[in-house]
Chain A
Amino acid sequence: DTEVTQTPKHLVMGMTNKKSLKCEQHMGHRAMYWYKQKAKKPPELMFVYSYEKLSINESVPSRFSPECPNSSLLNLHLHALQPEDSALYLCASSQGGTSEMSQETQYFGPGTRLLVL
């Protein structure tokens, strides 16, 4: 099973709402990632978790709050977002445990398309 699942598929929220995006994988991977992708652009890395610990935060605004409850789950909590945060949010996972995780194959989920009004 090489599947990464994400819920919800679509999300519309107002600037005062609080919502969460969820990601799950059952490949036994120990590294999980959040990316943001705007239309016609490549994915931009937001956060990396390694063995359930936050290892990389690419200077993402605090209105995005990641959480890794266990090795299979990754959440992204959203609060007080801006319209420019509207994008496709992608989760990915890789095996983990190597000294340079970037050298590992990453498996992406289908993404959550977020619209902030």
Chain B
Amino acid sequence: GENVEQHPSTLSVQEGDSAVIKCTYSDSASNYFPWYKQELGKGPQLIIDIRSNVGEKKDQRIAVTLNKTAKHFSLHITETQPEDSAVYFCAATPYDKIIFGKGTRLHILP
């Protein structure tokens, strides 16, 4: 069945360093890959997304890369700041479903 694997489950990085979160998906029918950030006590918020017709997308300190052949996509956050601390979810969207990864808890260390 459809599955999205997300790694790591927890990530601690020094403030100012980069963070990378990786996801793999199983169903090649997925064409849209959103990334959500969820802060404590809040709902998930879309931070960036990518469609299968592009390989990379960047928005200021955040970038996402997609390798459709290998069925994996990654989130890159550069120059991390304390407000980047949150849980991040990747997702794939085969057919009419959205399948979330299990989440990565990102800690930004002072």
Contacts and interface: CB of A to CB of B under 8 A. Distances in A.
Interface in A38-85: 40-43, 45, 56
Interface string A77-117: 00000000000001010000000111101111111000000
B100 interface: yes
Given A41-B102, A108-B44, A100 B96 contact: yes
B93 A100 contact: yes
Interface size class of A (residues with CB under 8 A): 20 to 34
A105 B100 CA distance: 14
A108 B45 contact: yes
Nearest to B30: A102
Nearest to A6: B43
Nearest to B102: A42
Interface residues on B, range: 20 to 34
Contact of B44 (A41, A90, A100, A103): A90
B98 A106 contact: yes
A102 B92 CA distance: 9
B93 A102 contact: yes
Interface in B35-65: 36, 41-46, 49, 51
B22 to A, nearest CB: 16
B43 A42 contact: no
Interface string B85-104: 00001000111111011110
A101 B98 CA distance: 9
Nearest to A105: B46
Contacts of B43: 4, 6, 90, 92, 108-111
Contact of A43 (B94, B95, B100): B100
10 contacts: A6-B43, A41-B103, A42-B89, A42-B100, A42-B101, A92-B43, A103-B31, A108-B45, A110-B42, A111-B43
Interface of A: 4, 6, 40-43, 45, 56, 90, 92, 100-103, 105-111
Interface of B: 31-32, 34, 36, 41-46, 49, 51, 89, 93-98, 100-103
